[in-house]
Structure formats: structure tokens, C-alpha cells
Structure 1
Amino acid sequence: MAVDWVITPHDRVLDGLEAGLRERSGAALLGPAGVGKTSLARSAVDWIGPDFQRVEWVTGTESDAAVPFAAVAHLIEVPAAGKTADVLRAARDSLGSGLLLVVDDAQFLDPLSAALVYQLTVSGAAKLIVTAAGDAPDEVSALWRDGLLSRIEVQPAGHDDVRLAEQVSQFIAELPADAVRTLRYLAVYDPVPLSDLVELTGVDAVEQARECGAIRVDDAMVSCAHPLFRDAVRAAVGGPALRRLRTALVERLMATPARGVVDRLRLAVLAVDSDRALPPDEMALASAEALRLGDLELSERLGRAALAAGAGFDGKLTLAYALAWQGRGREADAVLAEIDPATLTETELMSWALPRAANQFWMLSEPERATAFLRATRNRVTTPRAQTTLDA
């Protein structure tokens, strides 16, 4: 059974899109899932795209919403060093100007990808066509709330969420078993590298799913042809089965060569809710990378997983920073208190003592305790440099 999509007539919306691109920094197509917003964006690119030096697409996905820079990782390089502001600045510069950027399913953008999109818009480096369904987070809705984009409501007559959900469920139920198997992995994480999905399901299964219109293959990545397909499969599979699928996917991804920062964070996020734990040092490194990129909640989540897997000093230190910078000084102090200073090298001792004292001073408002702690720590160090640092 084919899904009978009720979509908005293109002419009226395309006129609004063109006006938004001419009079503002672009336009946002807002409406429920399944009304043709992505199709409208493609038509707009075919019509208006030749006026720009280049056109790039960014697609938000629910599984990537927790991973810093995940939505834009194919456009920019996220270095292994550098703070968030430096990464954003370098990314903005690398993309240049004269860009038409299409942001599809913007409600699923991670905050840092959303921040980059906003900066590109404000600076005039890019014009935007945005699609979004449901309530978009503040980082995304600011694009039209601040008047940068024209807001175009997409709600065609005859669209019915309940009817559409029933048709999608029927479409999934009538798919061949192998095609459904590929969708089950995408219900866990979307998109998935083509080579990994082939290893998990077989080349025939992937091709069958593509021919049925259930998946889309672009640039060696496989994604659901429509988010509603993914949601329907996830609802049908249930929690325990999703965990088994997630575990199989983690094991497959761990067998592939190491990738960049974003892919390492994706793997760590996927592993947290699986039965296949990453090595403690790898999870601790992922926690540190999330901290460096300013995602304190993700750093905490990965840091706790690292400690549960047996991470040592570095993992505890990163978790303490993530907690302290969220204003949770008591919890940070408790994590730092678990570290035995007698087991530390002098370099490690300094790395531990300074944030603990700072936390006591400012987060806990206990200056007397912090001063006494620094005096006690000074007795443990031997180098003049360490002593001078503690005195300061």
C-alpha cells in the first residue's frame, strides 16, 4: 500500500520562499510531518538554486540531536582541539559566502549545529530554506522569531495526522521482511553508513528497502525515506529489541577504522544505551570531547558511563568539570573526593587540586575549607613551580 500524502500546492509556497530569500535571509516552512515540506524545499532549490554559488543540505535527525555538530559534520571539520567558539569561527570561515543552505527537519538540530546556522544567517554568509515540524528548540526558532526568516505555515486542506499514521503503519506492515530489517537499524540510529548497514543486513536487503521507497541512499549514507517510517518501526519493535539492535550496531561500528570527533561521539552516545560498552578510556575521551565542545549534559552522561565502565583519574576529573560548570558544586566535590591524592603524580595532583579548590571557593562558598585544602596540598608537592601556583 502506497502512502497517500496530502501535500501543499507548490506555487503559492514557492512564491513565499522566493520573497523570503529576496527580502530577508530566507524562509522557514513550518507544519506537521508528511505535508511535503522537504519536497517543497527541493523544488525551491531547483528553481532558485542556480542564483547561488553553491547549495548545501543539512538534515536534522532525532538520533543526532544529542551529538555536537552532528548535523553539519559533512560540511565542516571538527578539530581534535580547540574550544567551541574557535570551532564555530573556523567552521563559519570555511563555508565562505554565496551559500544557499537548506536545513531539513530543523527541529532535530543539535544546539551547536543550530548555532552555526544562526551565525551564517546573521553574518549574511548564507541564505536559508528551513523545514521544521512540531515545536522547534529556541536555538532554531530564533531564526524566524528574530525576523531573519519569513515564516510560512504549511497545512494543506485534507491532511489528517491519524489517517496518515494509519497509512504509514500499513505501508511498513506490507514491506518485505528484509526491507523491514534495514528500517529497524535506522530506527535505532539514522543515518547509518551504507557499508555498515550492508554488513548487518546484506546488500540484497538494503537494495530491496531502497526499491520499496523505504530508505534513501546519499553519499554512502543510508537514511529513512521519511521520519514517519522510522517512528512507526520504532513503536512496533519496542524497547528490548531496540537495545539488541543498538548493541549489534555498536559492535559493527567498533569494528570499523577510527573516524573523526563527531563519529566518536555518535558511537559513544549509541553505546550508552546498549549492552556493548566502549573501553573506559574511549568513553572518558568522548566525555572530554563533549566538554571541550561545551555540551555539559552530554559530557556528564558519557562521563558517568565511563566511570561505570571503570574509568580512572581522567574520567573523574572530566565528570567533575561537567558537573561544576552546570552549577552542581556538591556533586562535583563528591566526585573529586573519590580520588586518592596519594596515588597521583605531581602533575595529576595539580590537575586535581586546582579545580577542587576553585569549586570549594566559588561553587560551594567555602573559602576557609579551600584555603586549608590548598595548604595541605602544598605539602605534597616538591617543585617550585607547583608551590608557586598553589601560593598564587
Structure 2
Amino acid sequence: MLTGRDGLLVEARAALVRAAGAVLLGPAGVGRTALARAAVADLPPRLFREVWITATAASKEVPFGALGQLLSGGHPALHPALVHNTVLAALRERCGSGRTPVLVVDDAHLLDGPSAGVLLSLVQARAVRALVTVRAGVPAPDAVVALWKDVGLPLLIVPALAEDAVATLAEQRLSGPVSRSTTQLLWQWTGGLPQLATALIDHGREVGSLVRDTDQWRWRAPLVVPAQVADLLDRELDRVGRLGEDALAALALGGPLPLSVVEAAASPELIADLEQLGLVRSEQSDDQILVRLRHPMLGAVLRRRMSPARRRRVSAALLASTPQGTTRGASAMASALWAVHAGQPVGSAELLRSASLCLYADPTASEQLARRARERGGGAPAAVALAAALVEQSRTAEAYETLAAALRDAEAAGDRGAQVTVRVALARHRAWVGREPRQAYDDLLRIRADAEAAGDAAGRAEAAAVAVVVQLFSGQAARALHDARELLGATPPPAGQLRVTLASVAALALTGRTAEAARMGRAAVRRSGSSALPFARGMAAAALAFAELWREPIPTGPVTDPAAGRWPMPDDPLVSGLSHTAWPIFDGYAQRVSGDRVGAISRLRDAVAQQADGEGLFRSEATGWLAITLAEDGRPDEAEAVLREHPVDAVALVPGLRPWATAAVAAAAGQRTRAARLMDEAIAVARTSGCWLVELGYLIYAAHLDPVTGPTRYAGRIAEAIGHVDAERLVTAGRAVLALAGRNPTVLLEHAHRLLDVNMSGEALRLVDEVTRRTGTSDSARLFADLRTRLRAAAPGDPAVAAGLTARETQIAGFAARGLSDREIADQLVLSVRTVQTHLGRAYRKLAVTSRRELSDALRLVG
């Protein structure tokens, strides 16, 4: 089965059966040959017989070279006028009487002129049906072009696969679910070309780059280029010549570059030719044109082919074409590396800034730059930068030893400033790597006191700023906010000021003051500008998104580099050549809030795997939210396994997260009393920390655990918390719970509609479920029907939305309702039987049915 080609297959087969054939046009690696094979495979054998001809560069050098197999007399001796009839006679002899010859010509752009002329004459005479594949972006003989321009054969463009098609291809090759981040990587790395994607998937599984992790296949290694892909791309690059490869090398070393910079290595005409060949693409970005490679795998092959001399020459050209001090974003990340490759002197300050710029996008390059800075006398800052790069690569022991050695050196030299810098870095290491935030906070207080006693204002401010962040991630939002305001009043240095401001935004949101948090977050994003480090700018966007999550029905989430999705990144061109994707941890949580459990689980699985490495600031949130969502989806065993493998630890932004997650698992396992006790514990932790927004969320959750008595039991505290929280979405959910304490279906229906208005369909459906259990049949039916109408209006054309079914669950449920067995459904959709059973089980639970007969009736009701 071909993935993502159903429409093209139908068109190609129809053209062969009903007309004279078709031309398949697409770039190298797009699967033209596979599509042609699939198109002729199901032709009725009693009516058609295909004959394959493959043109090659070698056959192009010989007149009629491609037709040799059909010229029994030898083509050099034949007069061109006789070849048409000779070929036709050979085709008819092979096909037999009564069957129409289907001439499949693969890579027709490589046909020699005489062979192309014969092909054209056969099609014009309607003597054959022809299916011709042609590579886009390369010259083809006039006679081949005439097939669609003059004769009128349909020209079917074979495009690269869309991301969802690459995801389906990966799931088929791996026989299991694939993480969204991995499919995004595969799609971007290969440009959606199925030949490259298939080779990369197979190679990744063979060498262990693709691993089964958190119940999904995940890519956990740098980009590798399989041998067969390298051969294919090497042949493409051999055609562009030295100057063309210099231009491509510039993009491989620098990522997306302004057109003016690329033109330093190539003429505008050559760049246009490279774009015509499909090797590069250009796009408008703000006030400039950016040029990038067609796909990052091409960059990996270019870097492998690049000799030291070419690397030096191209890097020097890039530096010369970029005025000093004007680099920013991706170019700034690469500029120091260009200087290193070009053999030009680079100061330690520039090396360290570049190391910081590329720390999260390319920690290996960051390590290289930091080591070079240490060699150039970068001192304590270089050691701290090196340790950060090592932590990002999960080489934590090596990072600690680097810092410990730097501290010994600073003490031996009596350099108090360097001692403070390294001690603060060691405290951060203890907090994020050692997962001991309380102890790290005490360390920072001592560093702050020592710096103050020594009159070191800068060291004091640095320790105090980091202490605020550590306090925030110890579940002490109110205290962190208090200390942050004191620091901001004292005007700390710019780097510390931004760090403390971002902590303030998060703390304000957690304590329920989301409007103030959003205002401060927007100001922080503006102030961070393009001069701040990518991490700081990305965290500013993330802090703002978190503040707006409970305010906006569809909040704008932060983005990340799909190859390093652990951290949010600014929306600048990436030096990796990739495009930004949604930050998985925020994306997953936002989907959970909106009621999309399946989507949330997939994204949060990504987040758990990503946060398990490096500093993992949001490790506890990723684990806790995933476990809670799995439990809500009726999968307590999976949720418990997640908590066991990735425990919620002391580093947590959300106070009370551990008892909340444990309560969710207990509730899903039917242990309601234990779940209620744990939720009361979570509520108490949130209140003690001053986090009204978190407490309100916990109170709502606890009330739903016992829909009979819960709303009444928690009504007073929910009303109190609502008075301290200005987050519209959460307040709407809280007021819906207060309405549950009454029994008026009309009022409850109004609250369900309000929940839909703020994009909380999951809460709305839960409200309906609880009312259905507690009210009469007529009221329940009317309430459900009204809500179903609203849900359909929100997602027209998707009848499964009313029942909360995903598209895949709807598809599988439909097959099951028509009587297909699990095995037959699996074969039809190219899935495993286990996957079918999992989706079907979820559909049963959501529709409250236990058999295929009941399933059919339920689907008619919602559809």
C-alpha cells in the first residue's frame, strides 16, 4: 500500500483504462516509480499487459538505447522510420492478442532523443497506453514534454508527503504508534520524500536511533544519513559543479541565510538554477529573503562531503559577507563557528556568546565553542558554559566535575567574582540535575550573604535572581513573587532582571492574577527583543502563554526546535534548517484543558521523554499531567506505570502535583475514598503556597470525583477561590460545579454552553454525563441534544465530536459497527490488532456501549 497517494492512484488508473495514459512528474525520491508500479498492478490482466522500460544516463548516450529490449534486430542497424513499427510489433507479441500494451517508461527525462520520438509517435497513434515518470526540475526531451503539452496526456504532479502521511508511513514501518515530535522530525529531515523517509526509518530502527519509549517510537539521536540516501544525494550533488556546491555548503554551515549572504558564494543565476533543481528554496521573512536547503538531510550529506579546504573557504566567504555586529538569530549562532572553521582569531567573549546562543538548539556545537573559549582564557564563565552544554547532552557527572575544578581554580587564584559565578552554577546544578531545590535555595542564600559581605553587588544580584527561580520551582509561588518584587525594585542587571520578571509572570498566574501576569509577560517579550539569548526569549513567550492559557479559549502556544523540544525557543529561523513546532509540554496541557485527551496524551508522552534529559525544569509537570490524563481516559495501569518510571519529584512549578496525580490514578482504579483524601492534601498544599488558581483547579477536580455530594461539599471553597482568580476559563468551570449543587437542567445547560464558549468541551461533556445520571430521561435527552448541536457547530462535518471520539476512533468504530472483525479492521487500515482493540475500547467507553450491536445504535445517535 502506498501512503498518501490514494487520489493519484485513482487518477493514474483511470487515465490508463479510459484514455491514452498519464505522466507522473515529481522530484527525486518522491516515489514516482512506486506509484507507477501500484497504478499498473491492479489493471485487469485479461485486458492489459504492462511492459517496463527504464531510461538511464548510459542509455541516453546511444540512439534508441532505452528501447534496446524491444529491438530484436539491434537498433544501430535500423532506420529510424522503421523503429516505430518494430517496437509496436514487439509490444503486441509480448502482450498477446486481445490485450492492450501498457508501456511504462521510468525516468523518461533520461530518454535519448530518438527513443523519446518513438514514444511520442506510439502515444499519438493510440497504439499503446503509456505511463511515463519524469523528474521535476531537470530538462527532458522535447518529445517527452509534448506528451502533456501537445498530445494531452494528464500531467499528475507527485508531491512530497504531508506530515500526517509521513506519520502513517512511520507507523506502518514500525508497527506501532510514533511520537508526534518524531514524525515532525522525519517529515522535516526528509522533506516529505517517501524514499528518504522509508530509508531513514529503517536505518534508525536498525542502528537504535529509533527506540520504543513511553509506548511510542521516538527518535533519540542526531540526524544520520543511511548509505542508500547518501548515494542518492551524492548523485544529485555531483551534477551542480564546484560553484554550486560552494553555495550549498554555505547553507549547510549557516542554516537559512539572507539571499545577500548566499550570493557571496554564488551568483544569482546559479542560486536560481539550484532552486529550479529543487535543492534549495527561498521564502520571504520580514524585510528579507531567506534561502534554505530543500531538507536538512541534504545539509548532513554536504557536511560529510566537505573537505577542510572547502569548509575554510566557504566559512571565510560567509564571514566576509556578514558585517561585524549585524548577525542575529541563526546567523549569530553560526558566526563564531565560521570564524573557527576559517582559521580566524575569535575572542573568548564572542565564543561564549555564541555558545549560549546555540546551547539548546545544538549543544554539541555549544560544547565545542565553550571548550575553545576555555583554551582562550575564558575562565569561570567558560567553565559554566561548558557545564551547561554537557548537561544538555545528559553528561551530568562530567558537568559537575567541570564546575568543581573551576571552583578549585578560582579559590586557588583568590578570584571572588569567579567563585560566586561557579558557586551559583553549582547551586543550579544541585537544583535541576540533583533535583534538590530546597537545598540549592539554601546554598544560594549563603552565596548571596557572602557576596553582600564582600561588597560584590553583581554577585549578590546574580545569586538572588537564581534563588527566586529555584523558589518558584519548589512550589513556593507566593514567596517567589514577594522576593521577585523586591529584586525588581532594586533594578538588577539585565540578565537577572529578565529572569526575575519571567518568574514573576509564572507566579502571578499561579496565584490567580492572570491579567497582571499577561501584561507583565507581554512587556517581557517586548523587552527581551532580538538581543537576548534564545532561551530567555523562548521562556518569555512560554511565560506569557501560560498566563493566557486560562484566559483565552485558544491560547497562542510557544514554539520549539523539533530536534530539541525540551525548551521553548524564539520564533527565529533555526540554524538546524528545521521549522518550529509547538512546544510539546504546553501543547499537551492545552489540549487536556480543551478536552482532547488523546491529543494531550500523545504530546505529553513527547514531553515526558524530552524532559527526562538535561535540566528537565518541567519534568514533574510532564509526568504528572500525562498520568492524570491517562487516568481520566480510563487507563490507571498506564498512568501508574508512568509515575513509577518518572516520579513527580521536588522540582515542580505546580504545588500539590504529586498528590493530584496519585489521586487521579486512585479514582480511575475505583478507589474514591483514597482519591478524595489525596485531593484534599493537594488542595491544602496549593492553599499554603498561595496559589489560588491551582487550588481552584484542584477543588473543581475533587468535586467531580463524587458528583453526588462533591459539588455541595466544595461549593463554599470554590466560591471563595473564584473571588481570587481572574482566569475566565477556570472560573467558568468552577461556576459550572457550583451549578451542579442545584438540580435545574436549564441552568446546567447554560453552563455547558459557556464551557463550550471557552473551548472546554471535555468539562462540558462531563457536566452532561453527571446531569444525565441525576435527572429524568426527558431533561437528559434535551440537554444532550442541545449540547450535541453546539458541538457540531464548533466542528462541522465531524459527528464524533459530540461523543468525544477522535477521528481514528470514529473510523474504527464505523468498521466495527458494520460487522468487521478486529483482524479485518487492522488489515484494512494497516494497523496492529492491538492498536485497533485499544481505539475500539476507548470508543466503547465514550459511547457507553459493550457490544458491536450497541455500537451501531450509538453511532446513529451521534451521527
With structure 2 as the length reference, what TM-score do the two structures score?
Answer: 0.25
Larger radius of gyration: 2
With structure 1 as the length reference, what TM-score do the two structures score?
Answer: 0.48
- Bigger RCO (CA 8 Å, 6+ sep): 1
